[in-house]
Amino acid sequence: MNKHNGLNGLRELLLNVKEVLDIYKVHYWLNDGTLLGAVRDKGFLPWEHDIDLGMWVDDISTEKKEHIANVLRSYEYRVLLFPDMYMTVTAGNVYLDMEFYGRKDGMAVLPQWLPVNKAGKYLGYIRTILMAPGYYRADKSESVMKHYALNISNGIATMLPKKAAIGIVERLYRKVGHKEWTIPAHYFENFDVIEFQGMFFSIPANPERYLAFRYGKDWRTPNPKWNVKNDGGIG
């Protein structure tokens, strides 16, 4: 079994990212489904395939984010960085998202790309390919057509003027509609510490209240069919 797959892969990825973030003295916290698993299940959710960390966008410079991304690439991870939005670190079939929250009118705002239709979904794929050609890869088990499509897309992306092409895609995306995560900022102002996977992490103070806001009053009941559209933070 690939060491990057499953719950063991999640733990190894989290350990390595934590080591790098701690070296760079970045303040971050467990968030989203990772926080839910840590508080409710004392571990990763059984069906989990990703890790979620939160941090304030102004607490870490773009230069430092780029340094961190390059260090993580030295682990042979695939890293996708949008300095004002998030960093995704992929290892095998598991990945970790660092979510960069901004502050606005008492809210913590995560300018994620959350498409509301298929057009937005595909524009998101195109934007990622333009930002990081080669980030998306087809497995050996996938169709020849997907391999060709990705190879052609990545080749075209390397020939286009990146900034202008991304600007066009983003303008189209905003026209077809998108949503952002907005969460009352007070949830991320004070923190406690929790032991998780043999390591210690910051978590929002009063995590039960925060999880009820995010996942509803029945957050203690496992729901593998939960959908991001039901997230209390999407506005």
- Domains with residue ranges and CATH for the chain: 1-109+184-224 (3.30.460.40), 117-176 (no CATH)
The tens-digit pLDDT sequence of the chain (235 residues) is 345 557 788 999 999 999 999 999 999 999 999 999 999 999 998 888 889 999 999 999 999 999 999 999 999 998 988 888 889 998 888 889 999 999 999 999 987 666 666 776 777 677 666 665 665 666 666 666 655 666 766 676 667 676 677 667 667 766 665 667 789 999 999 999 999 999 999 999 999 999 999 988 889 988 766 655 555 554 4
Backbone dihedral angles phi then psi of residue 139, each to the nearest 5 degrees: -75, 160
3-state secondary structure of 38: helix
CA–CA separation, 175 and 18 (whole Å): 37
The tokens describing 201, both together, are: 């992490």
Backbone dihedral angles phi then psi of residue 179, each to the nearest 5 degrees: -125, 160
Report yes or no on whether pTM surpasses 0.85.
Answer: no
H/E stretch holding 183: strand 178-184
* Strand extents, DSSP E, the chain: 29-30, 50-56, 78-82, 86-91, 94-104, 107-115, 178-184, 191-196, 199-204
CA–CA separation, 28 and 66 (whole Å): 17
The tokens describing 46, both together, are: 């059984």
Dihedral sign, Cα of residue 166, residue 168, residue 171, residue 176: negative
Longest dimension (CA), the chain: 50
Pair 181, 231: CB distance under 8 Å: yes
Pair 129, 143: CB distance under 8 Å: no
In whole angstroms, how far apart are CA 146 and each of 54, 65, 126, 206? Answer: 33, 31, 14, 46
